[in-house]
């Protein structure tokens, strides 16, 4: 399945959010060309840990995980000749994905309006922390800031201290995924009207729907009790517990039938009040801590294999790579590359049988991309001599 075959994307983004968006687009068949700057390109390339194998320069394994099925060109957008090259390129593309602060491209003479004047069918997706306007539009931020300012972190426990820092980049990833949604919606609109558009994606806003149920309760007059909400640590049947061998299990027996099955399996009496918030949850949690401490994690996995009660082991990321279910779903795979064989992870929409192109070396396709835009050998050489490309 390559529903985006024939769609050409010019990706000016770097690090995680934008490259994740273009990874999904590329895996779905779009032709994605990364435009990297002359001072080092996407600086995720140099972050540890780096892969040192093969014939390519050492490169971050995170960069390699995010940039398969893409090409790379190095163009200095601050150089007048580089700017003109980009304007010439956009005439051939369907989408430009950019992740600069609002106004940065305009200062380079490459505003959204300027790009769309070159190609009225162009979809420009601007992915930023706080959006193209508003009081915080120019503020710097990272994932944790977006979760905090958007109220999402405020739903998270513990109750007796500041919220726990998540072990993953929720706003960055949701920003990339909403960028994909916005781009595909704009392409559908273009198919209807013949006109491109500007898609404004703010990561702070993309994180907030993860807490839409909590906000919905808030709209109804509910006062948030951080760390004690039913799905935020307040219910004993919806929590994690340490096992006899110091590992962990996740129990999510929210519905009566699952809770009854669990209780019958461990030999305790179930009460429907167990599924309702209240002071009694502290007593039930302590009881369950004792029960889980009686068996190892492997024993609990065996217990769960014969009882349908929403009980699963807490796997480490290393263990997840070897998990039988994820292996059956082909979530992880190896691929050849200039760095040798590298590990990759599918996105949920990546066709399992897709034949992938390896991530690009920095500037590997500069000449090819420019020639496709009509530059001949002499013009490419002149751009290189001027320092506009590498």
Q: Which residues are tagged catalytic? A: 142, 172
Please give the full DSSP string across 180-204, using - where no structure is assigned: HHHHHHHHHHHHHHS--EEEEEEHH
* Burial status of residue 54 (CB atoms within 10 A of its CB: 0-12, 13-18, 19 or more): middle
CA atoms within 13 A on the CB side of 259: 19
The C-alpha atoms of residue 12 and residue 76 are separated, in whole angstroms, by: 11
Q: How far is CA 1 from the centre of its chain?
A: 21
Contacts 24+ apart (CB under 8 A), 228-235: 228/157, 228/159, 228/277, 229/155, 229/277, 230/277, 232/155, 232/156, 232/157, 233/157, 233/158, 233/159, 234/277, 234/281, 235/275, 235/277, 235/281
Residue of 324, 260, 26 lying closest to 332 (CA atoms): 324
Query: Which DSSP string do the residues of 303-353 spell out, in sequence order?
Result: HHHT--SSEEE---HHHHHT-HHHHHTT-EEEE--TTSSEEEE--TTS-TT
- Euclidean distance between CA atoms 73 and 41, whole angstroms: 9
């Amino acid at each position: 399945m390559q529903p985006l075959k024939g769609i050409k994307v010019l990706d000016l983004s770097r690090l995680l959010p934008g490259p994740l968006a273009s990874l999904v687009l590329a895996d779905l068949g779009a032709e994605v060309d990364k435009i990297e700057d002359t001072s080092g390109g996407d600086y995720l390339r140099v972050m540890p840990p780096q892969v040192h194998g093969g014939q390519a320069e050492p490169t971050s394994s995170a960069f390699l995980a995010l940039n398969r099925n893409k090409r790379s060109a190095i163009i200095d957008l601050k150089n007048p000749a580089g700017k003109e090259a980009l304007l010439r390129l956009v005439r051939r593309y369907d989408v430009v994905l950019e992740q600069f602060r609002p106004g940065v491209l305009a200062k380079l003479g490459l505003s959204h309006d300027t790009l769309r004047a070159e190609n009225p069918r162009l979809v420009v997706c601007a992915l930023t922390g706080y959006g193209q306007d508003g009081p915080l539009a120019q503020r710097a931020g990272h994932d944790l800031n977006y979760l905090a300012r958007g109220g999402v972190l405020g739903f998270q426990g513990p109750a007796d201290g500041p919220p726990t820092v998540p072990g993953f980049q929720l706003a960055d990833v949701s920003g990339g995924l909403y960028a994909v949604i916005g781009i595909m919606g704009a392409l559908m609109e273009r198919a209807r009207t013949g006109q491109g558009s500007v898609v404004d994606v703010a990561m702070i806003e993309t994180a907030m729907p993860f807490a839409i149920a909590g906000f919905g309760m808030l709209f109804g007059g509910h006062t948030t009790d951080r760390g004690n909400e039913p799905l935020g640590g307040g219910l004993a049947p919806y929590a994690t517990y340490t096992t006899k061998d110091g590992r962990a299990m996740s129990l999510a027996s929210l519905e009566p039938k699952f809770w009854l099955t669990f209780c019958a399996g461990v030999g305790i009496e179930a009460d429907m009040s167990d599924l309702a918030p209240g002071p009694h949850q502290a007593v039930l949690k302590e009881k369950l801590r004792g029960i889980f401490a009686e068996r190892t994690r492997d024993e609990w996995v065996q217990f769960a294999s014969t009882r349908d009660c929403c009980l699963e082991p807490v796997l480490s990321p290393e263990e997840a790579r070897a998990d039988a279910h994820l292996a059956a779903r082909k979530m992880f795979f190896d691929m050849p590359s200039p760095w040798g064989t590298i590990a990759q992870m599918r996105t949920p929409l990546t066709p399992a049988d897709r034949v992938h192109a390896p991530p690009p070396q920095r500037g590997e396709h500069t000449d090819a991309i420019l020639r496709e835009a009509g530059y001949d050998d002499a013009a490419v050489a002149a751009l290189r001599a001027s320092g506009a490309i590498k």
